[in-house]
Amino acid sequence: MSTIEGQFDAKDALGIRAVATRARRAGRAVAALEADARAGLLTAIADALADPSRREELLTANARDMVDARAAEALGKLDSARVRRLALSPAKLDALCDGLRQLAAAPELLGTATLQRELDDGLLLERAPCPLGTLGVVFEARPDAVPQIAGLALKTGNALLLKGGSEALQSNRALTALLHDVLRARGLDPGVIALLEQREEIAAMLELDDCIDLVIARGSGSFVQYVQRNTKIPVLGHAEGLCHLYLHDDAEAEMAARIAVDAKCSYPAACNAIETLLWTPGARAALVASARALLDQGVTLRVCPQTRAALASERAPLELTPASAEDWHTEYGSLTLSIRQVSGLDEALQHIETYGSRHTEAIITGDEAIARRFLAEVDAAGVFHNASTRFADGYRYGLGAEVGISTGKLHARGPVGVEGLVTYRWLLRGRGQVASDYGPGKRPFLHRTL
């Protein structure tokens, strides 16, 4: 396996500037490629990830990280949710390959005008997407984020500085080496993707507002806030995912149970897993079915008094834990779920407004009017009706992958794929026209959209 390019002394501020400058220059070469060449690059990365020998290297490196992570977890130095996010598997690698191929086949954005307007005869204006430039991405645990983010950056002609968590160092090194090998084999500078390894390098990167165009911060809310406070670079934050599932009065019991289990248990550590289930008195049958199904999956239920009373009347007693006020604020990232009774839609909306993280919220109801209100009034990046919150994902949306899920409202929101990694420039082609010839009493503009 090749060595990783772009390493430097963390104490050398000029070193990280040199890495960012090289990446930026290399990014321009990627942006200048023909669309087919960029698509072929992504396909080549997918092929490398599918290659049995490279896959064995990746899983071996990840196994070393997992041994260290489990030891840290046993000492209380690493939380269990982060340990679960750290694991790679053949299934995860298969999904990465599929996402990269999906991304390769996606329509080309660069150079494809999104607006063409004839200002006058022979004076043509275009709005054309172009790369943001250089991205700095800081993330924890998930090594599968490396090829996902790299694929999106390469598709959009952006350079990339990656800083993963120390718990995933061996995995991130192996994945970055694979990416560098593919880039080198296609005659491209591997420095377009640089892996940073030291915590101190985050602060150094945040100083480079003249080299880095966007920082994407994936981690805890406090970490995202730290990044936002300590840089002049625009920051796209991917923080908590405190998601809710609301069972309205006419929620169908079997549907509710199936969705609740998927939304909580299919990947409890994911940011799109639910942490709180809300229900109204008319949804008691759906509540009971959901609670039983969740308990069968080993979920610990932390419940309000009304929920305990509703479930206590069941013939077979259910194992329940009283909920505290803190539970409504908690993103567990594990097989724990809080449950609260609300009086109706208004109280459900108020609970979500108070405790939600603006990530993804879902309602189960057969009442279309209630569903319309929920979809219209919930302030979140994703709002779902009769579907699991686990669909909130760039791969599942057909974006190929995501650099993160933005809960903000400017530039990009929800899973951020290629469209969130481009800006645009205005291109004007003329025949010697001057602006002072146009205006009231002068030559009129045509402003004809083509």
**For 421-443, how does the pLDDT look when each residue is reduced to its tens digit (9 = 90+)?**
999 999 999 999 999 999 999 99
CATH superfamily of 243-391: Aldehyde Dehydrogenase; Chain A, domain 2 (3.40.309.10)
The model carries a pTM of 0.79
Contacts of 197 (CB under 8 A, 6+ apart): 7, 10, 163, 166, 169
Tell me which of 1.10.10.10, 3.40.605.10, 3.40.47.10, 3.40.640.10 is the CATH number of domain 13-234.
3.40.605.10
The 243-247 sheet, strands edge to edge? 321-322, 300-303, 336-341, 274-279, 243-247, 360-364, 382-385
Mean pLDDT of the 394-412 span: 79
| Per-residue pLDDT tens over the stretch 253-293 | 999 999 999 999 998 988 899 999 999 999 999 999 999 99
Residue 438 DSSP one-character state: B
* Backbone dihedral region for residue 296 (phi beyond 0: left; psi -120 to 50: alpha; all else: beta): alpha
Report residue 1's pLDDT band, with 50, 70 and 90 as the boundaries: very low
For the ranges 87-101, 228-242, 364-378, which has the lowest average pLDDT?
228-242
CA separation for the pair 367, 363 (Å, rounded): 10
Query: Does residue 81 surpass a pLDDT of 80?
Result: no
Domain ranges of the chain: 13-234, 243-391
Cβ–Cβ contacts within 10 Å for residue 316, how many?
5
Instruction: Look up residue 345 and give its amino acid.
Output: L
Contacts of 301 (CB under 8 A, 6+ apart): 291, 294, 295, 318, 319, 320, 321, 337, 338, 339
